[in-house]
Amino acid sequence: MTGWKPVPLPMLILSIDTSTRGCSVALHADGQLLASYDLLTDRSSAAMLTTLMKNAVEQAGHTLVDLDAVAVAKGPGSYTGLRVGVSTAKGLCYALDKPLLAVPTLAAMTVQLTSYYPDSYLFCPMIDARRMEVFSAVYDSHLREVRPTQAVILDQDSFAGLLAEHAVVFFGDGAAKCRPLLETHANAHFPARLVEPSARTVGQLASELFPSGQFEDLASFEPYYLKDFMGTKPRKKGLPAV
């Protein structure tokens, strides 16, 4: 596949997010949500995604052949979850000869909250990365990056500079570890509900990328893991693998 020509309206995009637990799919036409499904479990799988994709497309009165593009949350997040989501999205693009759009997970999470707070606030989405570490970034209300995506080991000084000058909203499943450290600070804010990654806002951002042709190369695209996968403890010399 060497490229894709512009398509007539409406622009139909199927989005996938498996950045953390469970999986989420959504279908957008010209940026408007037509259908979505969220399955919050402790394990994502290609079988679950296939069922949710089929349900979302059929609910909106379409088939997969009608799609103009597939979008996926590229990470950071769960190593296994991201691998499942990206593999499924790439397989669908190959099968249908459709382009792939990739959206940063943390940016898509932020879109869920920006309309609920003043424009002067900053937003810090957090994904749990074990122990006292989180994957995080900081955006302003227009989704401009204030602090790049990085792995942060939390302590009382992790965001001291930002909090001294700005009101900051901390959210996502990693924010629970941050709250005991920062909740007494006047500029630290925590939403009442848990904000999970969702294909709904992945599709919203993907709809903005599509007109400018910001497509990924299917052969080389990989999830943004941010850190190497740590699945087992390293072996001691001379001992067999377990």
- Here the tokens at position 79 are 């190593």
User: Are 57 and 136 in a shared domain?
Assistant: no
Span of 82-86, 99-103, 178-182, 234-238 with lowest mean pLDDT: 234-238
Q: How many domains does the chain have?
A: 2
pLDDT of 238 > 70? The answer is no
User: Are 63 and 137 in a shared domain?
Assistant: no
pLDDT of residue 3: 60
- Whether residue 60 is contained in a domain is answered as yes
CATH number of the domain to which 98 belongs? 3.30.420.40
pLDDT of 85 > 90? The answer is yes
- Whether residue 23 is contained in a domain is answered as yes
Distances (CA, A) of 79 to 12, 40, 93, 119, 143: 28, 17, 21, 33, 25
User: Are 185 and 201 in a shared domain?
Assistant: no
- Whether residue 149 is contained in a domain is answered as yes
Band (pLDDT 50/70/90 cuts) for residue 148 is very high
- Whether residue 224 is contained in a domain is answered as no
DSSP 8-state code for residue 226: S
72, 17 Cβ separation under 8 angstroms: yes
User: Are 201 and 182 in a shared domain?
Assistant: no
Q: 25: burial class by Cβ within 10 Å (0-12, 13-18, 19+)?
A: buried
Q: What share of the chain is helix, strand, coil (3-state, %, to 5)?
A: 30, 25, 45
pLDDT digits (tens, 9 = 90+) for 2-26: 465 555 567 999 999 999 988 999 9
Percent of the chain scored above 70 by pLDDT? 88
User: Are 61 and 120 in a shared domain?
Assistant: no
Tell me the residue range of the domain where 124 lies. 113-189
User: Are 82 and 19 in a shared domain?
Assistant: yes
User: Are 126 and 204 in a shared domain?
Assistant: no
Instruction: With H, G, I as helix, E, B as strand and everything else as coil, classify residue 171.
Output: strand
User: Are 36 and 68 in a shared domain?
Assistant: yes
pLDDT digits (tens, 9 = 90+) for 167-191: 999 999 999 999 999 999 999 999 9
Residue position matching structure tokens 């570490």 = 133
- Whether residue 220 is contained in a domain is answered as no
Sheet (strand 23-29) strand order? 32-39, 23-29, 12-17, 69-73, 100-103
Q: Read off the pLDDT of each residue in 12-41 and give the average, rounded to a whole number.
A: 93
- Where helices occur in 79-182 by DSSP H, the ranges are 79-96, 105-111, 160-165, 175-182
- Whether residue 7 is contained in a domain is answered as no
User: Are 168 and 63 in a shared domain?
Assistant: no
Sheet (strand 145-153) strand order? 145-153, 133-139, 122-128, 168-171, 188-189
- Whether residue 241 is contained in a domain is answered as no
- Here the tokens at position 241 are 């693998």
pLDDT of 103 > 60? The answer is yes
- Whether residue 33 is contained in a domain is answered as yes
User: Are 205 and 132 in a shared domain?
Assistant: no
pLDDT of residue 77: 94
Instruction: With H, G, I as helix, E, B as strand and everything else as coil, classify residue 160.
Output: helix
Helix axis angle for 46-59 and 79-96, nearest 10°, is 50
First vs last C-alpha separation in the chain: 42
User: Are 93 and 207 in a shared domain?
Assistant: yes
The model's pTM is 0.89
User: Are 205 and 90 in a shared domain?
Assistant: yes
R_g (Cα) of the chain, nearest Å: 19
Band (pLDDT 50/70/90 cuts) for residue 164 is very high
